[in-house]
Amino acid sequence: MNFKLIPTVLFTSLSFSCFASSSLSLTGMSLEEKIGQLLMVQFYGEEANDDARTLIQKTKVGGIIYYNWCNGLHSPEQIQALSTGLQKLTQSNPNPIPLLIAADQEGGVVAPLNNGFTRFPGNKAVGMTANPNLAKEAALATGIELHAVGINMNLAPVVDINSNPRNPVIGVRSFGEYAETVLVFTEQALNGYKQAHIIATLKHFPGHGDTAIDSHEDLPVVHKSKEELERMELLPFAKLGSSAEAIMTAHILVPAFDTENCSTFSEKTLNYLRQTIGFQGVIVSDSLVMEGALKKCRTVDEAAIQALKAGCDILILGGKIIAGERTGFELKVPDIERIHKSIIQAVKEGRISEARVNQAVEKILNLKNRYLLTQNNTSQSIDLTKTVHTSAHRAVAQKIASLALKATENGSNSIASLHKKNIAVFAPQLLQNDIDQTTLLKIGKSTNPCFFSNLSPSQDEIETAKQHARTADVIFICSYNAWKNPSQLILIQSLLDMGKPTVLLVMRDPLDASLFPRADLIFKTFSPTPPSIQAVCDQLNEKYSR
């Protein structure tokens, strides 16, 4: 595939025509403006509305993070207009500093931009191809699509090493379980993002791969010596730190560095990143509304102060709390204004030095100088039809999915002539839209789906599934982390116990495959995305429909 055909307008367009081409600097900035630059925030709106105006022109925030639950993200056109509108709001400020606009577009299970964009399999699928160049091609294509809609920063790639197969939060988001694998694939992904002129963010320092707790829900602890960490978790950060523009912290407790403070609030840990590893870029906190951060700092205000004091340069104030008493809570504009004032007050009281603030802001402005200001400014918009969801990008996604797919036959010839069979498909509801984009429901003489409402189906849904299966010749089961959803495990086992020919599609963590060895045919996709599901369809049609 030849990315040289991308229009030259790609890297000179969108949003910056009214910004001065001279370098941004601290000169003349008030304390209020400096603190604003540290904040990367969310807001409710599918366009640049009054909330956005308040955050950008009053609070002077330096960054916006997009979420589909509050910004729509319905189409490339909507997002491009949103980004353009937000950048225009900054131009009325006394110091018109362009925004960092970010998203968590990892690919696979974490990809908020999915309507009208290329759906790439996640890191584990890329790693399973054994072809690091595909990491570069996927990152380049992803970066091109992000850039086209005005997103200049990706909170990716994940460089955690998934050494614990029961890790509840990383899993297939990682390139693999070995440091060397993660290192070589991440290096190529960084090259791809740089070619696309996107700020990439290595995450989650010092390594979230060997945890048994999700930091969205609680504070994980990693009980490893510093020497063990340096051989495993820290290796990608140490080797690639000099190539990276940004590194995100993890809300994990690592006693080898700090027995009291999680990494985001640990000056000792972040000093190791700065002084021992030698990272000179921007340190980004993971979202400060996560329970792992709030376990010690009971307010987001205090979490922001502690993160800045410890060495974080960008403070993410976005996302929803997904566990505990405040499930569903997220920050609104008044909350962000209050946090902004709390940090200012902490500086005035001497809890944080202004020198620390200046250090952080200078790193942010240097980053914006390199990525957001251009010498060849133009107001011409990018042609989305030539840059987003192109045939070339879709071909890369499908190639990754097909090469990653692993099939295991368990000595049975019962899976044959599928085009003549009545097939029943069982899957969680969250996969329905992705399945509908493939040919999975067109394989049999008749193919009838049965979707259960969530990852832990009710007893009534289990009974309904068994009824649905009775008239089928062949059963297709899509598992989605059944290993940590007991009632899903019961549903799948109940279907297997019916003794019908069964195809198991392991849609997320490969651990599920070991739980159901009686399935006649097992596919491990490593990514619940349309290309990965289609790769299964292609192999079923090629080998089992004759």
pLDDT above 70 (res 108): yes
Query: Residue 224: which residues within 8 A CB-CB, separation 6 or more?
Result: 210, 232, 233, 254, 256
**Residue 138 and residue 47 in one domain:** yes
* Residue 540, Cβ density class (10 Å: 0-12 exposed, 13-18 middle, ≥19 buried): buried
**Residue 293 and residue 431 in one domain:** no
| pLDDT for residue 374 | 65
The enclosing domain of 455 has a CATH number of: 3.40.50.1700
Strand-pair category, 39-41 with 63-65: parallel
Residue 102 within a domain: yes
CA distance 394 to 283: 33
Percent of the chain at pLDDT above 70?
93
The enclosing domain of 130 has a CATH number of: 3.20.20.300
What tens digit of pLDDT does each residue of 345-359 get?
Answer: 999 999 999 999 999
Residue 324 within a domain: yes
Residue where one domain finishes, among candidates 327, 351, 386: 386
Residue 396 within a domain: no
Number of domains in the chain: 2
22 or 364: which leads in pLDDT:
364
Average pLDDT of span 432-442: 97
**Residue 320 and residue 425 in one domain:** no
| pLDDT for residue 325 | 62
pLDDT above 80 (res 31): yes
pLDDT above 50 (res 26): yes
Q: Helices marked H in 405-515 — which ranges?
A: 432-436, 459-469, 486-496, 511-515
CA distance 484 to 472: 28
Q: Which of 83, 76, 210 is nearest to 153 (CA)?
A: 83
**Residue 225 and residue 342 in one domain:** yes
What tens digit of pLDDT does each residue of 62-97 get?
Answer: 999 999 999 999 999 999 999 999 999 999 999 999
**Residue 349 and residue 304 in one domain:** yes
The token pair that represents 100 in the structure block: 């960092």
DSSP letter for each residue of 296-333: TSSSHHHHHHHHHHHT-SBEEE-S---SSTTTT----H
Name the DSSP letter for residue 274: I
Residue where one domain finishes, among candidates 320, 355, 386: 386
**Residue 363 and residue 497 in one domain:** no
Q: Among 28-37, 412-421, 437-446, which is the least confidently predicted range?
A: 412-421
Residue 395 within a domain: no
Residue 489 within a domain: yes
Residue 10 within a domain: yes
Residue where one domain finishes, among candidates 356, 386, 416: 386
Which residue numbers are catalytic? 216, 286
| pLDDT for residue 78 | 97
Residue 134 within a domain: yes
| pLDDT for residue 324 | 63
**Residue 288 and residue 321 in one domain:** yes
Q: Among 205-214, 305-314, 346-355, which is the least confidently predicted range?
A: 205-214
What tens digit of pLDDT does each residue of 219-242 get?
Answer: 888 999 999 999 999 999 999 999
Residue 26 within a domain: no
**Residue 324 and residue 218 in one domain:** yes
**Residue 418 and residue 539 in one domain:** yes
**Residue 467 and residue 328 in one domain:** no
| pLDDT for residue 12 | 40
CA distance 407 to 505: 9
Number of residues written out for the chain: 546
Instruction: Give residue 323's pLDDT band: very low, low, confident or very high (50, 70, 90).
Output: low
**Residue 326 and residue 416 in one domain:** no
Q: What is the mean pLDDT of the chain?
A: 92
Range of the domain at 349: 3-21+33-386
**Residue 39 and residue 86 in one domain:** yes
